[in-house]
Amino acid sequence: MAINKDNNCQITGNVSNAPEHGSFQGKEGLVSYCNFSIAFNHKTKGVMFFDCKAYGAIADNLKKNTSKGNAMTIWGELQKEEWKKQNPEDKPRYNFFFLVSEYKNYSTIYGSKDKPFEQQEMYSSNQPLPDTPARF
């Protein structure tokens, strides 16, 4: 996993809303995105919801393999975005979300009521390190 070691997060839960997919024009061309939420059911604290965002190849793969209710584990970084203030004297508001770098969708691996069994490896957009051989 080639993400920032100081900001490495992992969440396991169920996709709580239908993932929103789309694309936008970036500096280097068209970029795909996927926004969704993970619901984590805690025994004593109740349900906690986490916003998640993915871009590029991961977003394309999530679009094909993810739907509401899927059980999954995501790995990524915690990010913060500031909401624009309408009045300069208002306090800034922040939204925290997970920027997905890898995921494993257990519902597509083990099957579910509406989907048959399908083999899937953990998806990652990380490339091998230069000194690591591509095949052993």
Residue 110: per-residue pLDDT: 56
| Region at 11 (left for phi over 0; alpha for psi -120 to 50; beta for the rest) | beta
Residue 67: per-residue pLDDT: 86
Q: Please tell me the distance from the alpha carbon of residue 79 to that of residue 85, in angstroms, as a whole number.
A: 19
Residue 135: per-residue pLDDT: 44
How does DSSP classify residue 107? H
Residue 23: per-residue pLDDT: 86
| Region at 24 (left for phi over 0; alpha for psi -120 to 50; beta for the rest) | beta
Residue 5: per-residue pLDDT: 61
Q: Please tell me the distance from the alpha carbon of residue 22 to that of residue 88, in angstroms, as a whole number.
A: 32
Residue 29: per-residue pLDDT: 84
Residue 127: per-residue pLDDT: 52
- Blockwise average pLDDT, block size 10, the chain, 136 residues: 66 90 84 91 87 90 87 90 77 85 77 48 50 43
User: Topology of domain 5-85+92-110, per CATH?
Assistant: OB fold (Dihydrolipoamide Acetyltransferase, E2P) (2.40.50)
